[in-house]
Structures are given as C-alpha cells and as structure tokens.
Amino acid sequence: MQHYMEPAPVKIKYFTPGVIFISLIALNGIIFLLGRFIFGIGAVTNLNNQYPWGIWIGLDVGAGVALAAGGFTTAALGHIFHKDKYEVITRPALLTAMLGYTFVAMGVFTDIGRWYYIWHPLVFWNHSSPLFEVGICVMFYLTVLYIEFLPVVTERFIGNVKLPGALKRLNRPVDKLLRALDRGLDKTMFIFIIAGVVLSCLHQSSLGTLMVIAHSKMHPLWETPILPLLFLLSAFSVGFPMVIMESIAASRSFGLKPEKEVLSGLAGYVAPLLGVYLAFKIGDMAIRDTFKYLTEFNLQSVMFTIEVVVGFIIPFRMFMSKAVRESTTGLFIASFLVIFGVFLNRFNNFVIAYKPPYILDVYIPSFGEISVTLGFIAIEILLYRLLVRIFPVISQPNYGAAASAKFEIKGGSK
C-alpha cells in the first residue's frame, strides 16, 4: 500500500455543520479585530500599564510559535536525517507551520500599538534585544516556509495552468515559468530546509530569553536563566505530537485512514525528547531550590502543577508505552496532553508567572481578546481545509493506481 500513497488534493465538501460553526467563531474574532484597529488596544483588551502583555503575546505568539514546531522538526527528520518513511507527513506539517507562523505574525501585528511600523526591526537594529532576534528570525523563517511550500504550488499547476478568458494566451508562458521555478527550487531547496531548522532553533530559544530580562517580576517556578534552553527543548518535544494529533484529526475529518505505522514511529521519538526536557526542568528546579514554592497554595503553584503533571509527566509515561504508541486513541490523547502542556507552559511563562511589583488592576483576558485569539485559530483551520482541497498536501491512496488494481481484481474473479 505504501507505494500508492502520494500527496493529492483532498476531495471533500467544504462546508459541514462543524465548518459553519468554526466560521462563526472566525467572524466573531474579525469583529473584535476591527474594534482593535478602529478604537485602539484599550478598547478591546484588558491590558494595562501593569500587565503590558496578555494572551495575544502569550498564546497567539508564544504558544503559536511553539505549536508550529512540527514544521521544522519533521523537516529535520525527513529531509536532513533522511528518514524517508516520514516524508508523507512533512507536507501537512509544513502547511501547518506556514499557516501557524502567518498567524503568529498576524498576532504581533494586532498586539503592537503601532502596527504600521512592523517593518522597523528590519531597519533599526538592537543587537542586545532578544525580541529583535525573535522578530528577525520569525520574518525570515516565514519567508523560508513560503519558499518551502512553493514546490507544492508548482506541482499543482505545472501542465495544469488554465487561466480564464483573455488571459488564456498566457497559459504557456506561465507554465514555462513554473517549470523553471520548480527546477531552480529543486536544486536549491536544501539551503532553505537547513536555514529553516537553524532559524527555528534560534527563535524558539530566544522566545524563552524574552522573559529572562523581567526576572525580578517572574515567579521563581518559571524564572531561570536556562529558559531559552527549556523553550527549545519543549519545542522539540511538541513538534511530533502536534503532527500526530493533526494527522489523526485530519484523516477523521477527510474520511481517510490514519497512517498508523508512520505516526507510531514518530511517537517513538517523543518520550526521549520529553525526558530530556523534564530532566533539565527538574534539575534546574533542584539546583535553584524552587520546589519549596509548590508548598504554597496559589494560582502560580496550581497552574505549574497542572502544566508539569498533566502536560509533561503523564504524556511522558504514556509515550513510553508501546500499547499507547500503537493505538490511535492512545496516540491522540498522549499527543493532545503534550500540546496542552506546552500551550499552558507558554501561557504560564508570559502571563501567569509575570507578577508586577505594583498591581492596581489584575489582568483577566477580556471577551474581545479571547474572541480574537479564537478567531485566528478558526481562520487557520478554515484556511487549512481550503488549501488541502487545492494543493497536493495530504498523502492518500493514489486513486489511479487503486482504481486499476480494483479493476484487475474484478476481472480476475470473473
């Protein structure tokens, strides 16, 4: 069967009741988004001078970058370490990363007060700023992701350029152009693939450096100078679970069989990666003697316990079990827990751990902020569904080959 699996546009109806529901969430988000741009950040968010960063940075950017880690981790596994078995999942992972980072950029664009100056970091450099590094790397990586996706576009349209009406005569030249582009990309793609992995390692870790400068305001359960390392290791850990969960969800949604063998293989890497993360996290806590803060009962200690136990330790144990790795349900639950853990970790680092010295008003995300965050996620899902219908992203049984095989069997049985 393996041989017949190849990426092709998915043939599904776009609108289902679920999709309509997601569209409504997207619409609700867009309304509040308009409010933010027309009336200002203060009109939509509960951000204030004590809490300058809320869920738009903590979730849309912080968690968004981490959860898009499936892109560079599978690119490294499939294209750099040449584990060919995993090639089938590199395209969906690439599409998720591309959409994910697009919306990270959108999140930044929404959150910064002067969105029309978003290009300033390209011109005004501050080498000592980790945010500058994150900004530049994300801009470059987003470009690299679009370049990496180009071959999928050329594959879809080469020999298939059908422009409407008067543009018809351009069909040939466009086709030629696409072919030239495809050849050029084929020869140079390794440059971009390696660059994508390097850029990812850089900004995934620098995202952790962001909160190091606020050390006096950070809760000791999260505050440590090795935050960049912890961010990088947790990004490594969440990459494959993200691909696994997405793959299972997509196959259910598109009526395909999940590629269990590939997913179980991927799952084998997760426990060691989580183990390394946990070793550094717990080791750091032991060295810095921060376990004592767990004896206090407050928001921080509760959130920390949920994060580490539910989001890291339980899935770590689950991924060690062969039975879990070979069951679709087991894989789905364990992967979901890791994603939940890393998501919560980023939220905790950027929002819960941040304790300003003078609190006049406590920050609780507003309905508008939550709407925008959910709206972005909804639009991402809608775009994903749209793009897999247009472009050959999802690997599925090759219909041509399968049909002829079926015919033979039929013919043979007569």
Partner 1 sequence: MQSRREFLKTSALIGAATMGVSAVSNSKLKAASPESAAPAEHMGVLVDSTLCIGCRKCEWACKGAHGLPQGDFDSYEDRSVFKKMRRPDDTALTIVNEYKPNNLGDPDFDVKIQCMHCEHPACVSACIVGALSKEENGAVIWDTDKCIGCRYCMVACPFQVPAFEYQKALDPKIMKCDFCFDRQKEGKLPACVEICPVEALVFGKRVDLLEEAHRRLKNYPDKYFNHVYGEYEVGGTSWLYIGSENLSGKVFPKLGTETAPGVTESIQHGLFAYFVPPVALYALLGGIMYLTKKNEEED
The binding site for partner 1 (CB under 8 A) comprises: 37-43, 45, 47-50, 52-53, 76, 79-82, 84, 108, 111-115, 117-118, 120-121, 124-133, 135, 190, 193-195, 197-198, 201-202, 205-206, 209-217, 225, 228, 354, 356-358, 360
**Minimum distance of partner 1 from residue 405's CB (angstroms):** 28
**Minimum distance of partner 1 from residue 214's CB (angstroms):** 5
Question: For partner 1, which is the closer residue by CB, 232 or 388?
Answer: 232
Give the chain's radius of gyration (CA, Å).
Answer: 23
- Read off φ and ψ for residue 347, nearest 5 degrees: -60, -45
**Minimum distance of partner 1 from residue 85's CB (angstroms):** 12
Q: At what angle do helices 87-111 and 260-288 cross, to 10 degrees?
A: 50
Question: For partner 1, which is the closer residue by CB, 108 or 394?
Answer: 108
Question: CA-to-CA distance for 371 and 378, rounded, in angstroms?
Answer: 10
Q: Are the beta carbons of 28 and 35 closer than 8 angstroms? A: no
Can you tell me which residue has the tokens 């546009």?
9
Pick the closest to residue 277 from 223, 316, 306 (CA basis): 316
Question: For partner 1, which is the closer residue by CB, 200 or 251?
Answer: 200
Question: CA-to-CA distance for 316 and 248, rounded, in angstroms?
Answer: 19
Question: For partner 1, which is the closer residue by CB, 121 or 311?
Answer: 121
Burial letters for 175-187: b for 16+ Cβ neighbours within 10 Å, e otherwise? beebeeebeebee
Question: For partner 1, which is the closer residue by CB, 115 or 399?
Answer: 115
Question: For partner 1, which is the closer residue by CB, 224 or 247?
Answer: 224
129 exposed, middle or buried (CB, 10 Å; 0-12, 13-18, 19+)? middle
Question: For partner 1, which is the closer residue by CB, 22 or 352?
Answer: 352
How far from each other are the two terminal CA atoms of the chain, in whole angstroms?
24
Question: For partner 1, which is the closer residue by CB, 196 or 311?
Answer: 196
Can you tell me which residue has the tokens 């030249």?
173
**Minimum distance of partner 1 from residue 185's CB (angstroms):** 16
Question: CA-to-CA distance for 264 and 326, rounded, in angstroms?
Answer: 6
**Minimum distance of partner 1 from residue 366's CB (angstroms):** 12
Question: For partner 1, which is the closer residue by CB, 13 or 114?
Answer: 114
**Minimum distance of partner 1 from residue 261's CB (angstroms):** 19
Question: CA-to-CA distance for 381 and 369, rounded, in angstroms?
Answer: 19
**Minimum distance of partner 1 from residue 38's CB (angstroms):** 6
Q: Are the beta carbons of 182 and 154 closer than 8 angstroms? A: yes
Residue 395's SS3 state is strand
As given in the structure block, the two tokens for residue 384 are 């994903």
Instruction: Outline where DSSP puts E strands in 135-255.
Output: none
| CA distances to 96, 296, 312, 361, 363 from 358, in Å | 40, 21, 33, 9, 13
Question: CA-to-CA distance for 112 and 57, rounded, in angstroms?
Answer: 10
Question: For partner 1, which is the closer residue by CB, 52 or 400?
Answer: 52
As given in the structure block, the two tokens for residue 378 are 């909804």
Q: Are the beta carbons of 117 and 162 closer than 8 angstroms? A: no
**Minimum distance of partner 1 from residue 69's CB (angstroms):** 16
**Minimum distance of partner 1 from residue 187's CB (angstroms):** 14
**Minimum distance of partner 1 from residue 200's CB (angstroms):** 10
